[in-house]
């Protein structure tokens, strides 16, 4: 059996999810007639403390729909230079929405400096695009799964409101952040005009994300979803797994966080590894291969594959590992053994 640490997107649906999918009551969602999707959207809105929600195929589409709903062509959005939206969503906001990105330096803890945000807001001048939106990411992938605290989010929200802008949170793993901070997810979502979260990452469902906001905002988002091809008809089969995910997965995320800490500690004891996240905030462990290590990230990946462990390199000597539902304590022991063998060249 493979032990897959490449991402929490690799998770398979649980047996309970498969049963719910097989038995799901469905209808045409584009007509608003799929009862299972309607139930999921109501649950998502309630969990985020928002008026409404919309089900979309992916986190990338959820962010794209949010940006296209908030902004007009030629508007500018402020976001981090290490954010998922800026790095990994194929430039969709610019390509499809004509939205101008204004990237700011991302701090190691995943935040954007408040003064830098304020300074980046354009004055009312015909030479400049109109600043319309600020985007944050919580948890922050490229910053080692860093968690943005509710106090910081509130400060950004206050700044955005004072300046007449909107705030979108890419909360793909917002339930991980809520678990780490021991607060309800709606507390972290409260300052945002919109928030997106994934069902298919830490929550273990096979497909789908939710975008949440006001009733008026989601009405606009529904039109944009149709424009970008996100109307899925009888997708209650997918939403059924999402309902199980919301009901059963958030409370167990602490197990993933605990195992991430155990993994970081175990890897830290091995020669040749420099652990970037010795105390992981959530379910990710980042490390670098030291100059003294006998191989680079690609070489380590191939040696570990021979041990039936899959990893994902994010640079020539940098690796991200992600814990999830299908990695238990026994698998964790096997991973540490495989790393020791790979680094010693004994595979």
* Domains recognised in the chain with CATH numbers: 11-248 (3.40.640.10), 252-344 (3.90.1150.10)
- Rounded Cα distance, 77 and 136, in Å: 11
Burial status of residue 98 (CB atoms within 10 A of its CB: 0-12, 13-18, 19 or more): middle
294 pLDDT band, cuts 50/70/90, is confident
**7 contacts 314 by C-beta, under 8 angstroms:** no
345 pLDDT band, cuts 50/70/90, is confident
- Rounded Cα distance, 304 and 299, in Å: 9
pLDDT of res. 222 = 97
- The closest alpha carbon to 44, from 251, 209, 233, 190, belongs to 209
Q: Do β-strands 284-289 and 273-275 pair in parallel, antiparallel, or remain unpaired?
A: antiparallel
Count of all residues that appear for the chain in the document:
347
pLDDT tens per residue, range 217-276? 999 999 999 999 999 999 999 999 999 999 999 999 999 999 999 999 999 999 999 999
- Rounded Cα distance, 16 and 205, in Å: 11
- The closest alpha carbon to 186, from 45, 3, 285, belongs to 45
Give me the chain's average pLDDT, please. Answer: 97
- The closest alpha carbon to 283, from 139, 76, 83, belongs to 139
Q: pTM of the entire structure?
A: 0.96
Percent of the chain with pLDDT strictly greater than 70: 99
- Rounded Cα distance, 322 and 144, in Å: 10
Q: In the Cβ-directed half-sphere of 130, how many Cα atoms lie within 13 Å?
A: 11
190 pLDDT band, cuts 50/70/90, is very high
């Amino acid at each position: 059996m493979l032990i897959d640490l490449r991402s929490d997107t690799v998770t398979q649906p649980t047996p309970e999810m498969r049963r719910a999918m097989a038995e799901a009551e469905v209808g045409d969602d584009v007509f608003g007639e799929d009862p299972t999707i309607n139930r999921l959207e109501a649950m998502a809105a309630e969990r985020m403390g928002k008026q409404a929600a919309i089900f979309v195929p992916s986190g990338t589409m959820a962010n794209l729909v949010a940006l296209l709903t908030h902004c007009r062509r030629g508007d500018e959005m402020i976001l981090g230079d290490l954010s998922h939206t800026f790095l990994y969503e194929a430039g969709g906001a610019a390509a499809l929405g004509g939205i101008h990105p204004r990237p700011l330096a991302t701090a190691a803890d995943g935040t954007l400096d408040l003064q830098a945000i304020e300074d980046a807001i354009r004055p009312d001048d015909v030479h400049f695009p109109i600043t319309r939106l600020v985007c944050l990411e919580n948890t922050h992938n490229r910053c080692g799964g860093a968690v943005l605290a509710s106090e910081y989010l509130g400060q950004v929200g206050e700044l955005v409101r004072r300046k007449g802008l909107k705030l979108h949170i890419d909360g793909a793993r917002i339930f991980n952040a809520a678990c780490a901070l021991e607060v309800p997810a709606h507390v972290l979502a409260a300052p945002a005009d919109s928030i997106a979260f994934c069902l298919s990452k830490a929550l273990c469902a096979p497909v789908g994300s939710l975008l949440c906001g006001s009733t008026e905002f989601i009405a606009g988002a529904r039109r944009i979803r149709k424009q970008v091809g996100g109307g899925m008809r009888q997708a209650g089969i997918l939403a059924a797994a999402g309902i199980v995910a919301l009901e059963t997965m958030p409370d167990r995320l602490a197990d993933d966080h605990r195992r991430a800490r155990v993994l970081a500690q175990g890897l830290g004891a091995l020669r040749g590894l420099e652990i970037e996240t010795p105390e992981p905030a959530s379910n990710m462990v980042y490390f670098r291969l030291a100059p003294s290590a006998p191989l680079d990230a690609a070489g380590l990946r191939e040696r570990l594959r021979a041990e039936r462990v899959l990893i994902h390199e994010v640079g020539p000597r940098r690796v991200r590992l992600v814990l999830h539902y299908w990695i238990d304590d026994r698998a964790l022991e096997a991973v540490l053994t495989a790393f020791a063998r790979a680094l010693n060249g004994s595979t």
